[in-house]
Chains A and B, each alone.
Chain A
């Protein structure tokens, strides 16, 4: 157990160092690798899903813009619709001071059944260039194909979700139709990722 943790840490540091030189992940390039613990302490690696479509959702339950998408279950419903079709949807919590235990508590409280990955030292966030919560990335078979906002309405009101254009749904629908992603890069909105440093 201890060995695994050390190995994971060493691996993350190595991959982070390698990426820092080139700057954060770019559209059309291989997505940065990571291995992080979910809310049950189980390691989840991006490499486990190299043949899949993966959504990464930067998450912080204390952010009002994240709360907007959870207070009436919108994000959970959106994710469920796609995970049923085989999409892998992972949350990443890069907020300083958060732990697998605190992620487990919020998963229970907010009825989140997807993995919430603990990245409180911010390595994965830096590798992807995550700036905000919510902040969305879509990876198709290892290649980064979308980075940006969840939708095109930057308000913090849940009532504004219905009329907004959801960029992630658009990207996932285009991928499943065999098309390329028409809007691969948008400006994400929300709270800053609360980096430890």
Chain B
């Protein structure tokens, strides 16, 4: 029998009413954007991850290594939850030329909750967060189970959610910064209303395809996005439906992101 010498993940048991989970490397709190749950009125709940300096957690496509963060909400019957919404990630460079897609310092992972048309009491909402937190030297997986959401939420919680909502990717056709998207061999052309700065491409993952080597080249008001569809039958480990996310920074310093469709004829640039 192997004697265990690695670090052991300690799960903290929480006392009633407590909504924070703290460990070395990371703290997790749950937030909501509503004071009370109204029948039939969708609202946003979120897990706020406050990450220690030098560490990072992962986007839906973690990049060259790592694992996506998962948040699972437990709901009373009649309630439904939308999919986990990931804000635009950052590129995190590691030694050896490896790149991770994820978040440093803080991220707020949101979910839309739909209550039923009729409710009797205010619901009890809890969430499980499953994560991998790494720096360039080590990785630590962990889970925080049955964290409780405390309602009513306060103003600062609602402000946090509002500010992170601005970093959620929106479909390109609904984005006011984009004039049009045109498929080209091996990628897409984007025409901007005003050319943004710091344009970065993040290929996502799916069961049936995997994009690699996404590159952007901007001239004037146009950005060409080129990527490679990995040859052969490549199976991935996530099932996110968003092919590409393009993050960019506006003149006023605000970071935004759009979702791009996959060109059905990606070619091989």
Chain A residues engaging chain B, CB cutoff 8 angstroms: 27, 61-65, 67, 70-73, 96, 109-111, 122, 125-126, 131-132, 149, 152-154, 156, 182-187, 189-197
Contact = CB atoms under 8 A, between A and B. Distances in A.
Given A63-B139, A191-B138, A192-B64, 18 more contacts: A64-B6, A64-B141, A71-B2, A96-B95, A122-B96, A132-B64, A154-B237, A156-B132, A185-B234, A187-B205, A187-B235, A191-B65, A191-B139, A192-B65, A192-B134, A192-B139, A194-B95, A194-B137
Contacts of A65: 139
A149 B64 CA distance: 12
Given A64-B139, A71-B4, A185 B205 contact: no
B96 A125 contact: yes
Given A64-B141, A154-B67, A187 B5 contact: no
A27 B3 CA distance: 38
Contacts of A156: 67, 132, 141
Contact of B237 (A70, A189, A191): A189
A28 B134 CA distance: 34
Find the residue from B64, B230, B236, B237 having the highest chain A CB count within 10 A.
B237
B210 interface: yes
A65 B138 CA distance: 11
Nearest to B6: A67
Contacts of B237: 149, 152-154, 187, 189
Interface in B1-27: 2-6
A186 B234 contact: yes
B140 interface: yes
Find the residue from B97, B140, B235 having the highest chain A CB count within 10 A.
B235
A143 B101 CA distance: 32
Nearest to A66: B6
Contacts of B136: 192, 194
B66 interface: yes
A136 B39 CA distance: 52
Given A110-B2, A197-B95, A64 B140 contact: yes
B118 interface: no
A59 B137 CA distance: 14
B235 A195 contact: no
Contacts of A195: 94-98
B100 interface: yes
A192 B94 contact: yes
Nearest to B132: A156
B233 interface: yes
A109 B5 contact: yes
A131 B95 CA distance: 11
Interface string B222-248: 000000001011111100000000000
Nearest to A187: B236
Contacts of A27: 232
Given A64-B139, A156-B141, A196 B95 contact: yes
Contact of A126 (B3, B96, B100, B205): B96
Contact of B96 (A64, A149, A191, A193): A193
B235 A197 contact: no
A121 B145 CA distance: 40
B230 A131 contact: no
Contacts of B97: 195
Nearest to A68: B141
B3 A109 contact: yes
B190 to A, nearest CB: 27
A187 B138 CA distance: 20
B98 A192 contact: yes
Nearest to B61: A187
Q: In the A-B complex, list the 8 residue pairs whose CB atoms are closest, starting with the nearest.
A: A195-B96, A192-B65, A195-B95, A156-B141, A131-B64, A191-B139, A154-B237, A132-B65
B167 to A, nearest CB: 25
19 contacts: A27-B232, A71-B4, A109-B5, A111-B2, A132-B65, A154-B67, A154-B237, A156-B141, A185-B232, A187-B210, A187-B237, A189-B65, A190-B65, A191-B65, A191-B134, A191-B139, A192-B98, A194-B136, A195-B96
